[in-house]
Amino acid sequence: MVDKVKKRSLDHIADAQKVMVGGVNSPVRSFKGVGGSPLVMEYGKGAKLFDVDGNSYTDYCLSWGALILGHSPRNAILAAKKTVERGTSFGATTRAEIEMAKFITRAVPSIDLIRFVNSGTEATMSAIRVSRGFTKRHKIIKFDGCYHGHFDDLLTTAGSGVANLASSSSLGIPDSHIANTLSLPYNNTQVLVDTIERHKNDIACVIIEPVAGNMGVIPAEKEFLKTLRDITKKNKIVLIFDEVMTGFRNHIGGAQAEYGIVPDLTCLGKIIGGGFPVGAYGGRKDIMECLAPLGGVYQAGTFSGNPVVMRTGLATLKLLSSDFYRSLNERAENLSRELNAFFIEKHIPVRLSHFKTMMSFRFSDISIQNYDDACMAASDQKYRELFWHLVDRGIYMPPADLEAFFISGMHTKKDLADLGTAIKSFFK
């Protein structure tokens, strides 16, 4: 296979590095995780992404899971165009956001009232603030390896020792911002119960990805989530599901509908914007009513509920029927089954971790329950080689190990068969 021509990408990146930090606007795009120079993208259509050198790729990154209908889906693009022609932002309430709010409150079991924001980070940050305002408590619990955006209080490394005290994973965050953050191992019921028992009167909320997608894919154990639900309810602690990645991904009601567990608050992002920047948080009426203008918790945004985003998002969500999910999930399950059967048959210590259309590679055959397991099964070197092997075969994956990859409604059986063949040819 001849290496793809990347000359224009190289030139553009050299240019970008002169004016943008590291040549990018989000660190993972720099390809630090896979080496080499980033590909500069030009346009997307269906399941395909095209770079500035004219190479095409079947895209499994899909803007980090946002593009459930693939690139430039007709209905969503028409909705965006039609809306743009009537003005792009009013800083006032529009019918679009009311319709969107009605749609989401009907679809997602936990959401009585919703507030739209502009990113997943804003959603989690604001959900934590309203939880603290509601409970008048300050401590928060998160789980090692879960990512909730770049909010200071959540940007922590794994908990250390018995105290589960987190330390910051970024410079520029005062210790005081994370002094109230406890970070616990995912899927460990005993540590969770002990920690809540010790701090119950100080804990405002627990935030969790019900299916973790930022340490590779790790679905939470149902019993673990049930205990989490019971113990938070008993101690009047707000339970937040961060469904920025899982929301509308495999089911119209998100992971909470799939597990049958209803949190107090839910954070959304990615898919609900139909490819535009978005976030949302919502949940129990009595908690959400603590927000201004009804209550004393302040949170605001110039572009929140932007009509172009709302109309495009709504046009997207309206296409997500149960038949759509059935077919999409089935294609994903077939791919995972086929690849894992191949790894087992050939005695290759690699597995595809998956929860329906969320998937990731593990360079080990150990069972993965938490962040420590995920790190043990990670290999930057092997992922780097796999990533470029796939690029050379016209396949684009997220440019970092421990990131999830996704399929969209536009990925055909043939696309997935080609992906299977390309992966197998790497490991043979």
Least gap, CB of 198 to ligand PLP (angstroms): 27
Going across the sheet that includes 56-59, the strands are: 41-45, 48-51, 56-59, 395-396
Number of residues that bind ligand PLP (CB under 6 A): 16
The whole-angstrom separation of Cα 348 and Cα 110 is 42
Q: Catalytic residue at 175?
A: no
Return the range that interacts with ligand PLP (CB under 6 A); candidates 160-168, 208-216, 364-372, 379-387.
Answer: 208-216
Q: Catalytic residue at 233?
A: no
The residue count for the chain = 428
Contact between 121 and ligand PLP by CB under 6 A: the answer reads yes
9/214 with CB nearer ligand PLP? 214
Q: Check: CB of residue 86 under 8 Å from CB of residue 78.
A: no
Contact between 209 and ligand PLP by CB under 6 A: the answer reads yes
288/400 with CB nearer ligand PLP? 400
Q: What number of CA atoms fall less than 13 Å from residue 372's CA on the CB side? A: 7
Contact between 269 and ligand PLP by CB under 6 A: the answer reads yes
DSSP state of 22: G
192/255 with CB nearer ligand PLP? 255
Q: Which DSSP string do the residues of 124-180 spell out, in sequence order?
A: HHHHHHHHHHHHT--EEEEETT----S-GGG-B---BTTTTB--BSSTT--HHHHTT
Contact between 242 and ligand PLP by CB under 6 A: the answer reads yes
Least gap, CB of 219 to ligand PLP (angstroms): 14
213/409 with CB nearer ligand PLP? 213
The whole-angstrom separation of Cα 245 and Cα 283 is 17
**Nearest 5 degrees, angle CA 367-CA 368-CA 373?**
115
Give 173: exposed, middle or buried? Use CB within 10 Å, 0-12, 13-18, 19+.
Answer: middle
Closest to 232 measured CA to CA, from 355, 137, 116: 137
Residues 144-183 as x/- pattern, contact with ligand PLP by CB under 6 A: ---xxx----------------------------------
Among the listed residues 144, 270, 281, 356, the single catalytic one is: 270
Footprint of ligand PLP on 61-80 (CB under 6 A): 64
350/400 with CB nearer ligand PLP? 400
The whole-angstrom separation of Cα 134 and Cα 38 is 44
Contact between 245 and ligand PLP by CB under 6 A: the answer reads yes
Contact between 120 and ligand PLP by CB under 6 A: the answer reads yes
Binding stretches for ligand PLP (CB under 6 A)? 64, 119-121, 124, 147-149, 209, 213-214, 242, 244-245, 269, 279
Catalytic residues: 147, 242, 270
